[in-house]
Structure 1
């Protein structure tokens, strides 16, 4: 019995995964949103766990969750979004400054929104939205610029 080789795909045809990979490679802001979205999901997961399972005040839980998700955010942006070539020592120090600024902005907005809105997750959504654009600009033009 002879083995029949698998039919190769036409070089002009691409799989959906290949098209999506090329799209991500070409669109840095989309990669930033993807990384930010997954980091935000981690942040919300940590927030809910901390609020629901501990007696810690909600504002502190929000700050802790933000800080925990920052490690993933840094590594994913360094390697995936911006394909940085700087040494971690240089990029991570800048990232730490941005995290502190983002943490301060997130905490302030969360504090105010939590007073006004009926649920802490709504307050976190507002806080997340406020920090998105400033974080992208600081990442792109200061932390990972070539």
Structure 2
């Protein structure tokens, strides 16, 4: 349970970084929200890997062993998160938030839903595959 709490805390910090970058990419660089979501996910993955390697799982495995597994996990997580983001963003923009004050921030709400659903899958992959002793 403590390991999950650490994982969630580090994931929360990585998620804040992801949301910050998502906002920068969309608001200042004019990126398409789905591309900005995928790019910010990859960017926060570096922090996530290092923090989980050292703090959550206290791994003594070599990066040569854990990093390729992490890259596969990030790729799967990004695919899942991006697919969920696209679905939620489409539904929010076209059906839920039409003509509301939240319409222009639909990408943030979509990212929140996608992130919450991806959390458990990511934890299980970290625990059972990447850092398994």
Name the TM-score, length of structure 2 as normaliser. 0.89
Q: Which has the larger radius of gyration?
A: 1
In 1, Cα distance between the equivalents of 2:41 and 2:47?
11
Unaligned runs of 5+ in 2: 98-105
2:81 pairs with 1:81 = no
Task: Provide the aligned C-alpha RMSD in A.
Answer: 0.9
- Higher helix content, 1 or 2: 2
Q: Which residue of 2 is the match for residue 33 of structure 1?
A: 8
From 49, 56, 59, the equivalent of 2:34 is 59
Task: Give yes or no for the alignment of 1:134 onto 2:121.
Answer: yes
Determine which structure has greater relative contact order: mean sequence separation of CA pairs < 8 Å that are 6+ residues apart, divided by chain length.
Answer: 2
- 1:55 Cα deviation from its structure 2 partner: 2.1
How far is 1:116 from its partner?
1.1
Separation (CA, whole Å) in 2 of partners of 1:134 and 1:140: 10
User: Which 4+ stretches in 1 moved above 3 angstroms?
Assistant: none
The separation in 2 between residues aligned to 1:105 and 1:63, in whole angstroms, is 10
